[in-house]
Amino acid sequence: MTAKRAVFLAVIVAFLLLAAAALAAPATRPATPAAPASQSFTERWDDGATDLLVWWLPYKMQLDHYMLDPTGLAIMILVGTLVGTVIGALFCLIPSFHIYNLAGMCVMMWLVIKGLVPFAVLAPFFMGMIVAFAYINTIPMSFFSAADESSGASLLPTNDLVARGRGWDASILSGIGTMAGTLILIALTPFAYLVITFIHEICGPHTHWIIGLILVFYVMSEWPKGAGRGKTTWAKFSDAWRNVFAGVFTFILASITGCILLTKPLVPVEDAFQAIMPVFVGFFAFPSVIQALLNQSDPPKQYLSKYVNADFKEVGYAALPGTIAGLMCALFPGITMGISCIFSGHMCNHRSLRALSFEKPVEPGTYVRLHTPEMYYKQEAVFILGGGITKILYYVGAFLFVFVLTAITPNGMGRGGLNIMLRPVFSPEPGDYFIMLAVILIASCVSLLALITFTKWTIQILPRLNMNLVFILPSILMLFCIYWLGGGWVGLGIAAVTTCIGSIPVFYASRRSHTMAFLLVPIAINVAGYGDVLARWMHLV
Amino acid sequence: MKGLTHFVSGVCAASFIPQVVRMSANSGDGSAASFILLLAGAYGVLPDTMDFKLGQFFSIAETELDPDPVKPDPQHMADEFARVINEVGETGKPQRVQFFTSQLGANRWRQYNVVFEPRAIVIQFNEVVSTSQIPFPGTAPPPERRMGRAEFKYELKSRSLEHDWLNDCVRWLRQKLKGPDMPPGPVKPSTVDIFGGPQFGFRKEADGKIYFDWLPWHRTWSHSWVLGFLLTLPVHLLAFGFALNANWAAAGALSAAGKYGELTSLLFTMNSWWLYGAVAFLGFFFHVFEDMTGHIGGALFWPLHKPRSEGLELFKASDPRTNFSIMYTALTLTLWNMDRFTTKVIAFPHWFINFPANIGFRADLWSAKFPFLAGLLEPLGKWARSVSPLNPTLAEWLGHAVTLTLFLVIPMFIYFKFIAWLKPRIVARERERMELTVQNLKVLGQSEYAESAVPQEAADGADLEDVLD
């Protein structure tokens, strides 16, 4: 990092400290008539906003009247879908900003305005938003290296392509994969009702050990990345094991943090709705920003090509691993793309159907030709396409499965953050599933078009962007969000701790998904029925 | 085989024990469920974990060949290798050679080949490759620094003459399964590019030739059923200790049980403590068993009988068809076991228990719904009610057979048919590409440039004909 950047970073940190202090001041000033510090965001919003929205009530009554008619209902659903898609698409462009942060804010706003907006727009709005995220999130992930947990599945090839000036290919390939995933998700409808429901019910009582198995394999399958140079056993061992040590260390720290924070939350009860946000911003967003600021170089010149390097064959190759990984995420709590893609990659890798082969020299005594099969060259595209498929099955599928209401799944079978956030305000009804399919299709088409346009814009403005600001401004936004929504100073403290933990895999080249142990270990322990005993054993209760 | 294949196979094997599945299920009544199946998975990958994470670092090679990333010297490497072979031939003392990879950046490696001739070695440096082993065109070293060749006095061979009773048994079984062994071919070439490099062992045998041992540290002590049993002893002991502790806690002797009594009483009982070690051993056993179907084999009875035997050579460890089919089978069987021992939501077994009375019920229902079919359905219903029900055990297994046919046999059949259709097409396309490459080389007449043309073509996604034009 140059001295100029270090000074710039120091100024920003100083500004943040001052801003945070200023924000904290009103709560400690006894004379201020402002709301007490213990009030939640919803209550603070409620105080000011409801009065302003009263003028809307007559229009709301008119809307309710229109919605008795199917056409009016359809128009409202369409409006909800489009508004959700547009908002989701715009906010997803912010590096490090996760859709669940936005969804959390929207749910809290909904709690305030629920009497003023037709209920029928709620699910389409959120569905549109999450579909847009599945598509547009590729742009910050590829061009600004703003990694969330799931980016592990598609980060390496996309970053490599961006470095070679082919960011357009990366983005569009991911979009094509996501669109293919949309079609797969719709085609899976009979499978969802006739097979997945049974798998869901069979796995239900066994969830704890299935998550445990995934964790065991995940930790045990990280092989030493070092070459093992050295004259003694210990020298070879320590050279090779750096990443494994770092991975195991991260896993242990994240597990302990998870057991503590999920058993005895430090965030005030009124902010519990977004209690997990500081943790994941710390695990994924801030380490990426630090890494980007330290490693930053000028963005490479990008090219707009007429074609992308893939055809239907590649989509076909990517379909099976992408679908398996996506369904894993959609069906098991806490399993994310980074983890599931390791599994599906191990399971479905058919690259060696045709391995590297040695060919005779053209002239005797000259080079042996090592023939690299075409499949090797295509794996980059297959990887990105598969990542796109997984992404939509993970985020959208997990929410869509809430609407699969059958005799054995009367409450649906959805997983994922959005489902958890919406549970208190929304429950699906029979017939919603097919409306949601239409919503997904419309939102997908809009999002794919938006992806193409936004990618072109990004490529045009990328050379003119100040990359320091690109990373630092969203970070400031995230710090404000954590302060306001994630528990104030306590939330910032939690984010600081998890940033330290999340930085270990970044700087020691181990898997970042080890930090997901924060959720997975406590979930497995609690689902198995040991939560109370563990809490007593750790003196947390 | 792949780690995940061993992992799911171990869990699948353990899931055939009804008590294991039942104690693993969360009954939903507030009682705790066991994590016992984790042991099957963990011990299922343990042999390879011990090899690749520990064992290889204990195998210190006498000679290390570590190419300079900036200026690799293939001739020096070939000369060093030839020196080792000559020393082994002259002294009779076994030696090992470690090749290292050459990393140029986070995602850049210098690839090289180690090609063996009966009495010579060729080290050839190729293009820079990514971690996905994709070459970057035009990055091969200049011709004068690209290849090194050195001859040695002794002949290399890929199959050992020295075999013991265990190897004889494996060979006998292999010949029964596959027919007579093919004559051993030459030592296969190796490509060194990403992560760690290979280690080769060399040993002079009675016929004066040098036996080439690929990865001499792999599948030796770690792939032993005896070691597997020994490694499960701590599990047995701990489980027994915890079960005793839980027993004391249950008997009210909490002071004796200590502060862990509450936890252990949830996990262990005197009836099931032995299952923990047994499940762990099953995982380990199946790993070694599956590896015996490959080419390298294992040291099944180490330390009682130390040499590594050959394998049955039925599959290649990296064959995606074997790995995928075993994984799919194991996952399906595990789900089936979970259902039949605990949840029982799959309907077929229940359906057959009521067979054929349920046919009668359906026939009555449909004949009321579709009167024009009544003539056909009513006699069917009458017949169904008159027939005595199936034996419950037979009915249940009929249901299981239907389940497995639908979800295991048919999908596997489709998979193998699809791969059988796909693979010849991939091979034909690759052959076409190779032939075009040869034409390309002849047309251009300059190998180093011509070789780069193929990666260029594939990387950019254009047709090869365009490159030739």
Contact B124 A528 (CB under 8 A): no
Confidence of residue B389 (pLDDT cuts 50, 70, 90): confident
Q: Identify all chain A residues contacting B131, using CB atoms and an 8 Å cutoff.
A: 156
d(CA B18, CA B354): 24
Kindly list the distances between the CA atom of residue A349 and the CA atoms of A231, A314, A358, A383, B283, in Å, as whole numbers in the listed order. 36, 13, 22, 10, 23
Return mean pLDDT, chain A: 83
Contacts of residue A212 in chain B, CB cutoff 8 Å? 35, 37-38
Confidence of residue A28 (pLDDT cuts 50, 70, 90): very low
The nearest CA of chain A is from the CA of B166 a distance in Å of 31
Answer yes or no: do A201 and B56 touch at CB < 8 A: no
Alpha-carbon span A43 to A49, nearest angstrom:
10
Question: How confident is the model at residue B446, as a pLDDT?
Answer: 52
Q: Do B426 and A373 touch (CB under 8 A)?
A: yes
Which residues are within 8 A (CB) of A461 and not within 5 positions of it... i.e. 6 or more apart? none
Q: Give the residue from chain B lying closest to A374, CA to CA.
A: B458
Q: Summarize the confidence of residues A391-412 as an average pLDDT.
A: 92
**Amino acid present at B429:** R
pLDDT classification of B457: cutoffs 50, 70, 90: very low
Check residue B288 and give its pLDDT: 96
Partner-chain residue, chosen from B35, B191, B419, that has the shortest CB–CB distance to A212 = B35
Contacts of A258 (CB under 8 A, 6+ apart): A517, A518, A519, A520, A521, A522
Q: Is residue A1 very low, low, confident or very high in pLDDT (cuts 50, 70, 90)?
A: very low
Least confident of A183-187, A488-492, B209-213, B289-293: A488-492
Dist CA A473 CA A469 (whole Å): 5
**Secondary element (H or E) of residue A249:** helix A242-263
Task: Find the closest chain B residue to A532 by CA distance.
Answer: B263
Instruction: Name the residue with higher pLDDT: A277 or B326.
Output: B326
For residue B449, what pLDDT is reported? 44
- From chain B, the residues in CB contact with A537 under 8 A are 259, 262-263
The helix (run of H) or strand (run of E) holding residue B267 is helix B261-267
Q: Say if CB A406 and CB A193 are below 8 A apart.
A: yes
CA proximity to B12, closest of B201, B289, B229, B244: B289
Range with lowest mean pLDDT among B16-30, B166-180, B405-419, B455-469: B455-469
> Mean pLDDT, to the nearest integer, of A140-152?
63
Whether B135 has its CB under 8 Å from any CB of chain A: the answer is: yes
- The residue among B234 and A27 whose pLDDT is bigger is B234
Tokens of residue A127, six digits? 């569905």
Q: Is residue A22's pLDDT more than 60?
A: no
**Res B16: pLDDT:** 97
Q: How confident is the model at residue B212 (pLDDT cuts 50, 70, 90)?
A: very high
Hey, is the C-beta of A194 within 8 angstroms of any chain B C-beta? no
Distance from C-alpha of A155 to C-alpha of A161, rounded to nearest angstrom: 10
| Least confident window among A474-488, B1-15, B314-328 | A474-488
- Write down the pTM of the prediction: 0.86
Q: Is A227 on the interface with B (CB under 8 A)?
A: yes
CA of B387 to nearest chain A CA: how many angstroms apart? 31
Contact A456/B at CB under 8 A: no
Query: Which residue, among A194, A216, A243, A295, would best test binding to B if mutated, counting the most B CBs under 10 Å from its CB?
Result: A216
A241 has a chain B CB within 8 A of its CB:
yes
Residues 394-453 of A with CB under 8 A from B: 408
SS3 A341: helix
The mean-pLDDT minimum among A117-121, A394-398, A424-428, B432-436 falls in B432-436
Average pLDDT of span B29-49 = 91
What is the C-alpha separation between A199 and A403, in angstroms, rounded? Answer: 16
How far is B320 from chain A, CA to nearest CA, in Å?
Answer: 5
- Partner A contacted by B346 (CB < 8 A): yes
Q: Which of A166, A352, A377 would you mutate first to test chain B, the one with the most B CBs within 10 A?
A: A377
Chain A residue numbers with beta carbons less than 8 Å from the beta carbon of B49 are 220
Distance from CA of B391 to the nearest CA of A (A): 26
What pLDDT band is residue A151 in, cutting at 50, 70 and 90? Answer: very low
Range in A126-130, A276-280, A369-373, B395-399 with the lowest mean pLDDT: A369-373
- pLDDT > 70 in chain B, percent: 90
Q: Is the dihedral of CA A382, A388, A391, A396 positive or negative?
A: negative
Range list of H helices, B54-164: 56-58, 74-91
pLDDT at B248 over 50: yes
Average pLDDT over residues A321-329: 93
pLDDT tens digits along B307-325: 889 899 998 888 889 999 9
Band (pLDDT 50/70/90 cuts) for residue A474 is confident
Judged by CB atoms closer than 8 Å, whether chains meet at B426 and A244 is answered as no
**Which A residues, 144 through 163, put their C-beta within 8 Å of a C-beta on chain B?**
156-157, 160
Our CA angle for B44, B50, B54, nearest 5°, is: 160
Own/partner pairs, B165-171, CB within 8 angstroms, 24+ separation: B166/B300, B166/B301, B166/B305, B166/B307, B166/B309, B167/B307, B167/B309, B167/B310, B169/B309, B170/B292, B170/B297, B170/B309, B170/B310, B170/B311, B170/B312, B171/B310
pLDDT at A4: 59
Nearest by CB to B133, from A363, A369, A376: name it: A376
Is A536's Cβ below 8 Å from some Cβ in B? Answer: yes
Q: What is the DSSP letter of B339?
A: I
Instruction: Note whether B146 contacts A: Cβ–Cβ < 8 A.
Output: yes
Is any Cβ of chain B less than 8 angstroms from the Cβ of A541? no
> Which chain B residue lies closest to A342 (C-alpha atoms)?
B4
Rounded-to-integer distance, Cα A332 and Cα B248, Å: 37
**Which tokens hold the place of A28?**
């400690």
Residues of A in contact with B29 (CB under 8 A): none
- CA-nearest residue to A157 within chain B is B132
Structure confidence at residue A26 (pLDDT): 42
Per-residue confidence band for A96, with pLDDT thresholds at 50, 70 and 90: confident
Average pLDDT over residues B365-386: 87
Any idea of the CA torsion for A318, B335, B232, B277, to the nearest 10 degrees? 170
Say if A305 is an interface residue toward chain B (CB within 8 Å). Answer: no
Select from B126, B426, B451 the Cβ nearest to the Cβ of A353. Answer: B426
Number of other CB atoms surrounding residue B23 within 10 Å: 22
pLDDT higher than 80, residue B193: yes
Mean pLDDT for the stretch of residues A303-307 = 84
Complex prediction ipTM: 0.87
Convert the pLDDT of each residue in A217-235 to its tens digit: 989 988 887 778 877 888 8
Is some CB atom of chain A closer than 8 A to the CB atom of B101? yes
Of A228, A356, A374, which has the smallest distance from its Cβ to B57's Cβ?
A228
Pairing mode of beta strands B63-65, B199-204: unpaired
- Looking at every residue in chain B, the average pLDDT score rounds to 86
The answer to whether the Cβ–Cβ distance between B135 and A372 falls below 8 Å is yes
Per-residue pLDDT, B262: 66
Whether the Cβ atoms of residue A415 and residue A102 lie closer than 8 Å to each other:
no
| B202 beta partners | B95, B212
The alpha carbon of residue B386 is apart from the nearest alpha carbon of chain A, in Å, by 31
| Rounded Cα–Cα distance for residues A279 and A258 (Å) | 9
pLDDT at residue B467 tops 80: no
Contact status of A369 with chain B (Cβ, < 8 Å) = yes
* Beta carbons of B262 and A533 less than 8 Å apart: yes
Q: Is the pLDDT of residue B251 over 60?
A: yes
Residue of A nearest to B423 (CA): A353
Are B107 and A203 a contacting pair at CB < 8 A?
no
Q: Across the interface, do B45 and A528 touch by the CB < 8 Å criterion?
A: no
pLDDT at B295: 87
Residues 383-402 of B with CB under 8 A from A: none
pLDDT at B453: 36
Distance from CA of A19 to the nearest CA of B (A): 38
CA–CA distance, A343 with A337 (Å, rounded to integer): 10
CB < 8 Å from A in window 285-344 of B:
318-321, 323-324, 327, 335, 338-339, 342-343
A469, two tokens: 């600001």
**pLDDT given for residue A316 in this prediction:** 92
Per CB-CB distance under 8 Å, the chain B contacts of A534 are: 263
